[in-house]
Amino acid sequence: PQEWNLATDKYLGVKYDITTVMQAKPLLKEALQAAVGLPVDRNIPLIGFIGRLEEQKGSDILYAAIPKFISMNVQIVILGTGKKKFEQQIEQLEVMYPDKARGVAKFNV
Q: How confident is the model at residue 1 (pLDDT cuts 50, 70, 90)?
A: low
Residues in the chain: 109
Residue 94: give the domain boundaries.
44-109
Same domain for 92 and 73: yes
pTM of full prediction above 0.95: no
Same domain for 80 and 36: no
Q: How confident is the model at residue 13 (pLDDT cuts 50, 70, 90)?
A: confident
Same domain for 48 and 32: no
**Local structure of 38: helix, strand or coil:** coil
| Inter-helix orientation angle 59-71/84-91, to 10° | 20
- The candidate with the shortest Cα–Cα distance to 46, out of 56, 27, 32, 57, is 32
